[in-house]
């Protein structure tokens, strides 16, 4: 699970440099995106959101029934983690400069 989330972060990070800007993008098991000619979607119940500009990005992912969510941005190479209720969805990443200061570093 963690490997898939990290792979998704890498893919979305690369997208941030390939396009000039995009609004928040949500990828889950019903919303896919095309990367390099292939369709990418997350595993069942995994939600990944990202926001990027030409020079910045932030991304957050989590499993719908899991108790953790993971985040990353271009300002710090660390992966951030936060405990969440298993009945809530992962946080939406609504800013390319999302503030992870209250999250724990992994």
Which of 14-26 are b and which e, b meaning 16 or more Cβ less than 10 Å from the residue's Cβ? Answer: ebbeeeeebeebe
Q: What is the pTM of this model?
A: 0.74
- Residues in contact with 90: Cβ distance below 8 Å, sequence separation at least 6, in sequence order: 47, 48, 49, 60, 61, 62, 63, 64, 69, 84
**Is the pLDDT at 13 greater than 70, yes or no?**
no
Measured in degrees and rounded to the nearest 5, phi and psi for residue 61 equal: -140, 150
Model confidence band, residue 70 (pLDDT cutoffs 50, 70, 90) = very high
What is the per-residue pLDDT for 71? 94
Break the chain into its structural domains and give their ranges. Answer: 2-105
Question: What pLDDT score does 38 carry?
Answer: 84
Residue 96 pLDDT level (bands cut at 50, 70, 90): confident
Q: What is the pLDDT of residues 17-41, one digit of tens each?
A: 444 455 678 888 888 887 778 888 8
Report the alpha-carbon distance of residue 51 to residue 64 in Å, rounded: 20
């Amino acid at each position: 699970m963690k490997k898939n989330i990290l792979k998704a972060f890498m893919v979305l990070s690369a997208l941030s440099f390939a396009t000039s800007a995009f609004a928040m993008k949500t990828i889950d098991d019903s919303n896919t995106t095309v990367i390099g000619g292939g369709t990418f979607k997350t595993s069942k119940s995994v939600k990944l959101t990202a926001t990027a500009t030409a020079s910045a990005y932030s991304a957050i992912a989590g499993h719908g029934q899991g108790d953790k969510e993971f985040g990353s941005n271009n300002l710090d190479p660390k992966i951030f983690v936060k405990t969440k209720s298993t009945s809530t969805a992962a946080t939406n990443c609504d800013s390319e400069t999302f503030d992870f200061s209250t999250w724990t570093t992994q």
